Amino acid sequence: MNIPILRLAIRSLFGRARAILLFAIPLLLVALAVLLRATAGNAGTNPEDAPLVLVRTFGIGIVVPVIALIATTTLINSEFDDGSIIYLLTKPVSRLSIVASKALVVLVCTLVFAALPMTLAALLMIGTDADLWLGALLGGIVSSVAYAGIFTTLATLLNRSLVGCLIYWLVWESTLTSFISPAAWLSARAWGSSVLHAVADVGQKAHPPVWFGLVAAALCLVGGVVVAGRKLSHTTISDV
């Protein structure tokens, strides 16, 4: 890790207008949780209904990847688009350190603005019943780790990285995995949902197995940083 790059990444992340979305999206999640609790009455104590759907479908399925995508496009895509990456390429800094520092900021941002609000939403809806809050926290962490690695890799490897990230999320994660069951084994959303189902007492089987989701998410982050670092090490100023 490189402390100056971490500071630069954080300043860049919150110095753009899109940073407003980092606060607006989790606020929307919490507001929906409050609304659900206010309108559900005693029915809100059943985590197999609306609370679980909100955490799994809206939280892990939308909030986590959107926050990760906003952070990734701000820290990686935008620097390639406006040429500011040249500043880092001219410095005697390890390319792997550059990518790892940015991936860390993406991960922390996703945890703070997605995983933690999901936990708060679960607590607001049903409290500590059925450990839905713990499942939301751990499932959010697993998905955040996976998306940070996947989006960092795509943002570094592809020329139109934003399109690539959107295709992965909207086509693969949101569409194909819903119709092709084996595709869930390669889905960051499915890995997080698996942990959610295993930890929370919701009466649903974890699929894929929790151990597989944990290993896959870790491999995505570590492997993604290594691959992106190697790609950046072969990138010259003339390529930007």
For 22-54, what is each residue's pLDDT tens digit?
Answer: 999 999 999 999 998 888 755 444 545 789 999
Torsion angles phi and psi, residue 28, rounded to 5: -65, -40
44: tokens are 């809100």
Longest dimension (CA), the chain: 63
d(CA 174, CA 61): 8
Sign of CA dihedral 144, 145, 147, 148: positive
What pLDDT score does 78 carry? 67
Residue 165: per-residue pLDDT: 86
Q: Is the pLDDT of residue 65 over 80?
A: yes
In the numeric block, the tokens 């701000």 are attached to 74
Q: How confident is the model at residue 61 (pLDDT cuts 50, 70, 90)?
A: very high
Two tokens, residue 13: 């992340």
Residue 240 CA to residue 236 CA, distance in Å, equals 7
What are the residues whose beta carbons fall under 8 Å from the beta carbon of 216, sequence distance 6 or more? 146, 185, 186, 191, 208
Neighbours of 215 (CB within 10 A): 12
Which pLDDT score, from 0 to 100, does residue 43 have? Answer: 46
Nearest to 29 by CA among 115, 106, 144: 115
Query: How far, in Å, CA of 193 to CA of 208, rounded?
Result: 9
Q: What is the pLDDT of residue 45?
A: 47
Please give the Cα distance from 192 to 58 (Å, whole number). 12
pTM for this predicted structure: 0.89
DSSP 235: -
User: What's the rounded Cα separation, in Å, for the pair 207 and 161?
Assistant: 29
Write down the pLDDT at residue 114: 96
Q: What is the pLDDT of residues 88-137, one digit of tens each?
A: 667 667 888 888 999 999 999 999 999 999 999 999 998 888 899 999 99
Among 30, 210, 31, smallest CA distance to 133 is for 30
Model confidence band, residue 15 (pLDDT cutoffs 50, 70, 90): confident
The secondary element (H helix, E strand) that includes residue 195 is helix 188-199
Across all residues in the chain, what is the average pLDDT? Answer: 85
CB burial class (10 A; 0-12, 13-18, 19+) of residue 24? exposed
pLDDT of residue 209: 93
Task: Give the lowest-confidence range in 1-5, 64-68, 153-157.
Answer: 1-5
Average pLDDT over residues 194-201: 91
State the pLDDT at residue 80: 64
What pLDDT, on a 0 to 100 scale, did the predictor assign at position 64?
Answer: 96
187: left (phi over 0), alpha (psi -120 to 50) or beta: beta
Integer-rounded Cα Rg, in Å, for the chain is: 18
Element (H, E) at 97: helix 95-110
236 phi/psi in degrees, rounded to 5: -105, 170
Which phi and psi (to 5°) does residue 151 adopt? Answer: -70, -35
